[in-house]
């Protein structure tokens, strides 16, 4: 049981890290013209925009802070998953 919990926490932790990297790459793509039109841009848009759209309220003028808020939320979720894993394992 302990091994399963360890692997589940590890897998969720890595999945959140990969998703956070996708958010950062998607945000950086705004600096390059026509980057959203590429295959990678369209793929990242399909997986990142639904989550980022929850945080569209966070704007300052023309600057969207949605990626920063999304990364903060994912960081808190990641810390919660790690803490829950530590509680279940018992150390």
State residue 2's pLDDT score: 78
State residue 62's pLDDT score: 85
> Which CB contacts under 8 angstroms, 24+ apart, belong to 13-17?
13/78, 13/81, 13/82, 16/74, 16/77, 16/78, 16/81, 17/78
Listed as ranges, residues in the chain with pLDDT below 50 are none
State residue 61's pLDDT score: 85
């Amino acid at each position: 049981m302990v091994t399963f919990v360890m692997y589940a926490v590890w897998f969720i932790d890595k999945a959140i890290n990969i998703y956070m990297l996708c958010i950062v790459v998607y945000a950086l793509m705004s600096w390059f013209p026509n980057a959203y039109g590429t295959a990678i841009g369209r793929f990242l848009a399909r997986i990142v925009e639904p989550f980022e759209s929850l945080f569209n309220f966070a704007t300052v003028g023309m600057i969207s802070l949605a990626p920063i808020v999304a990364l903060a939320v994912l960081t808190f979720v990641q810390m919660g998953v790690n803490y829950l894993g530590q509680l279940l394992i018992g150390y």
